[in-house]
Copies of this chain bind each other. A is one copy, B any other.
Amino acid sequence: MTRADAQRNRQRLLAAAREVFDEQGTGAPLDEIAHRAGIGNATLYRHFANRRELALAVYAEEVDALCARGAALLDADSPAEALFTWLHDFLTNLAARRELAVLDADQPGADLSGRYARWHKAIHRTASDLLDRARAAAAVHPDVEAADLLRLTSAIALSDADPHRLLRLARHGITPAPHDR
């Protein structure tokens, strides 16, 4: 098998895994992922040693895609819309992948914390860039920090409520500004 074949198999497995995880969660049978990718189980395990590695590879691609989307949104007309479009995307991704946190808690590893740290840094930089632009346009309150937005979004994503409704509520505030501030 050439390197190009191997790369193609890896991409097919990741695409199938994303589909199956979306439908059934990260506990879905790996057999089904291999089947849907049209690839043998042995090949799956050659690429991904276990479920966690596969799930983390899916997540790594999603983090890259989120950061790329954030960078593209820096060219959008409305800095506020760009920031919240991205936060809603981030929220959707977190809500869909909340099981990953459980998966990790079960099997901690040294490399894992390094990966998480890189992802966290990349996500934080993306949020900061969008926030800086919104702040320069006076489209957010000046004392709001990127860490606030990421923590609030994470908290909302992990709850059982309708997360997008709660994020919209936080965007506009519970009280009508500015007389109550």
Asked if A46 CB lies within 8 Å of chain B CBs, one says no
Copy total for this chain: 2
Q: Which stretch in A9-17, A110-118, A157-165 binds the other chain? A: A157-165
On whether the beta carbons of B175 and A178 are closer than 8 Å, the reply is no
Bound together, the chains give a CA A155 to CA B144 distance in angstroms of 19
Contact in complex: B175, A181 (CB < 8 Å): no
Question: In the complex, A141 Cα to B176 Cα: how many Å?
Answer: 6
| Contact (Cβ within 8 A) A141 B175 | yes
Q: How many residues of A contact B (CB 8 A)?
A: 32
Once the chains bind, are A151 and B166 in contact (CB under 8 Å)? yes
Contact B148 A154 (CB under 8 A): no
| Cα distance, A181 to B40, chains bound together (Å) | 52
Q: Is A174 an interface residue when CB atoms closer than 8 A count as contact? A: yes
Contact of A161 among B144, B151, B166 (CB under 8 A): B151
Specify which chain B residues have a CB less than 8 angstroms from the CB of A80 in the assembled complex: 175, 180
A residues near B, CB below 8 A?
80, 138-141, 144, 147-149, 151-152, 154-156, 158-161, 165-166, 169-178, 180-181
Top-7 shortest CB links A-B: A173-B173, A155-B159, A151-B161, A177-B177, A170-B170, A155-B155, A172-B173
